[in-house]
Amino acid sequence: MADDYRTESDSLGEMDVPADAYWGAQTQRAVENFPISGSSFSRRFVRALGIVKKAAAQANRDLGLVDDEIAQAIIDAANEVIAGDHDDQFPVDIFQTGSGTSSNMNANEVIANRASVLLGADRGSKAVHPNDDVNMSQSSNDTIPTTLRGAARMGIEHDLLPALEALQGALEEKAEAFDDVLKSGRTHLMDATPVRLGQEFGGYAAQIEHAIQRIELASNRLSEVTLGGTATGTGLNCPEDFPETALQHLTDATGLSFYKTGNHFAQQAGKELYVDAHGALNTLATALLKIANDLRLLSSGPTSGIGEITLPVIQPGSSIMPGKVNPVQSEQVMMVATQVTGNHQTLTVANTHGNFELNVMMPVMAHAMLQSIDLLANSVDAFRGKCVEGIEADRERCRELLELNPSVATALNTAIGYDKASEVAKTAAKNRESVRTVVKRMGLLDEDELDEYLDIRRMTQPGVPGDAS
């Protein structure tokens, strides 16, 4: 049994650590202290933390602060963390110390022990020291927020924005393909004046375009990072040239720009930029929910719903009703959107706990932010590929429902007046007749006038029916 463990120490004393673990005493204490959720940080966060530690080691080497051999060993170990070789070595629960110190020390210990092994020393030997070497020129209080911003930017730029751009393109293709499909508009879930199905899909595409613009702006603002502030924002134990040097390495590694904040006190204690950035994700979530729910309703049926479009059939819909098919992709989008809005509330409340020089909610903020990015990117990609691209218009059904839409009478306002048009509409709705049929029976307009005023295509464009100009 004793062979299964080794003894490591920290400032509180000795701890038994699994013999094959790369983590050390502080990580082990955190594992034992925080058996909360069973969830540790995502691959995205661990990768970003490895990139930050690598950039710090490169900067410390460039500035002559650490031995070249030790620096290279740290860089090599960090590269393995970045590649995902040691994901099982990051067991610390998300719900931990509010600064994220446990996760920072987890990375310091794993990289230090792995670097020691690469140099031919034993785990726990501290041939490479987790604090003195790996954490040199840093504090958890500037490293963790820098990691979050790096992870968020990489997730947004490399995954979420490409997924959204592809979805926008798919919606624009449907808008063009359905431009000739005339159908009933709906307001308050009730029949309204006609629209083109292509116009509806064009609206969806524009919603995604606007979301992209907001998210791009938010991502750019996350370029401002706290590295160099160390514990309280003063930069104690951080050489003057370290932040810029490290951030250049961070920029080179990610392909994304990062720069040192102009005020560490504002950014280490206040997390408004996180809330602001997630606000763009939250707004996207509400847009996606509207689009997904519209498609769910437009495809409802097959006999008792609207049925103006058909969605791709990708799986059986019921364990008891044979042949039933459900709008499952729309439903996953709606659930993801709901989770993201909940994450936004978490970030909002968490930001209120910036006390003096530190916000003590950083781990849960990181978890919420990165979960939202990953959920949205994956959800949007699946929604596009398994739903939107395969949508078809039921042109006959659109025409059938439009024929009986009493709101078509709105186009007659300038010809016969609102009151008479209202009478026509009510009669058409009561008798389930077309507006044209009712007007002809009432003798209000002749055939040529009806053709002029009841030109459905013209109703979907700006202008006044019957106005020759």
* Number of folded domains that form the chain: 3
Distances in Å between the alpha carbon of 278 and those of 156, 188, 347, 353?
A: 11, 30, 8, 17
Distance between CA atoms of 286 and 407, rounded to whole angstroms?
A: 29
**Tokens 């202008």, located at residue:** 463
CATH number of the domain where residue 51 is located:
1.10.275.10
142 in any annotated domain: no
Strand, coil or helix: 365: helix
Mark whether 233 and 98 lie in a shared domain: no
Mark whether 36 and 77 lie in a shared domain: yes
Contact 136, 111 (CB under 8 A): no
Mark whether 263 and 352 lie in a shared domain: yes
pLDDT of residue 317: 83
Angle, in degrees to the nearest 10, between helices 272-298 and 328-350: 160
Pairing of strands 5-10, 13-18: antiparallel
Mark whether 165 and 270 lie in a shared domain: yes
pLDDT of residue 284: 98
Catalytic residue list contains 469: no
Helix H or strand E segment including 14? strand 13-18
Amino acid identity, residue 379? S
CATH number of the domain where residue 416 is located:
1.10.40.30
144 in any annotated domain: no
Written as six digits, the tokens of 407 are: 């709101």
Distance between CA atoms of 95 and 381, rounded to whole angstroms?
A: 30
469 in any annotated domain: no
Alpha helices in 63-160 (DSSP H): 68-83, 101-118, 140-155
Mark whether 267 and 358 lie in a shared domain: yes
Amino acid identity, residue 179? D
Mark whether 174 and 270 lie in a shared domain: yes
Q: Is the dihedral of CA 428, 432, 435, 437 positive or negative?
A: negative
* Boundary (domain end) residue, out of 375, 394, 413: 394
Please give the residue range of the domain that contains residue 87: 2-136
Written as six digits, the tokens of 391 are: 């949508």
**CA geometry: angle 308, 311, 312, nearest 5 deg:** 150
Please identify every stretch of the chain with a pLDDT value under 50, giving residue numbers as ranges.
Answer: 1
467 in any annotated domain: no
Catalytic residue list contains 158: no
Contact 184, 231 (CB under 8 A): no
399 in any annotated domain: no
Mark whether 89 and 178 lie in a shared domain: no
Distance between CA atoms of 128 and 73, rounded to whole angstroms?
A: 8
Distance between CA atoms of 329 and 203, rounded to whole angstroms?
A: 20
Q: What is the DSSP letter of 389?
A: G
Distances in Å between the alpha carbon of 69 and those of 62, 65, 72, 114, 177?
A: 13, 12, 5, 14, 62
Mark whether 434 and 288 lie in a shared domain: no
Angle, in degrees to the nearest 10, between helices 362-386 and 43-62: 120
**CA geometry: angle 23, 27, 31, nearest 5 deg:** 120
pLDDT of residue 468: 57
Say which of 188, 304, 319, 469 is annotated catalytic: 188
Mark whether 353 and 277 lie in a shared domain: yes
Quick: pLDDT tens for 62-83: 999 999 999 999 999 999 999 9
341 in any annotated domain: yes
Mark whether 384 and 437 lie in a shared domain: no
Distance between CA atoms of 283 and 344, rounded to whole angstroms?
A: 10
Say which of 37, 39, 257, 318 is annotated catalytic: 318
209 in any annotated domain: yes
**Region label for 299, one of left (φ > 0), alpha (ψ between -120 and 50) or beta (otherwise):** alpha
Amino acid identity, residue 294? D
* Boundary (domain end) residue, out of 394, 425, 442: 394
Quick: pLDDT tens for 345-363: 999 999 999 999 999 999 9
For residues 121, 126, 129, 134, the Cα torsion angle rounded to the nearest 10 degrees is: 50
Q: In this prediction, what percent of the chain has a pLDDT beyond 70? A: 99
**CB 32: neighbour CB atoms within 10 A?**
9
| Beta bridge mates, 358 | 355
**Does the N-terminal peptide bond of residue 194 adopt cis geometry, omega within 30 degrees of 0?**
no
CATH number of the domain where residue 190 is located:
1.20.200.10
* Boundary (domain end) residue, out of 394, 415, 442: 394
Tell me which residue of 191, 242, 195 sits closest to 393, measured CA to CA: 195
Mark whether 193 and 88 lie in a shared domain: no
Mark whether 357 and 308 lie in a shared domain: yes
pLDDT of residue 2: 62
pLDDT of residue 245: 98
Specify the long-range contacts of residues 446-450, CB closer than 8 Å, at least 24 apart: 449/415
465 in any annotated domain: no
**Tokens 């931990």, located at residue:** 96
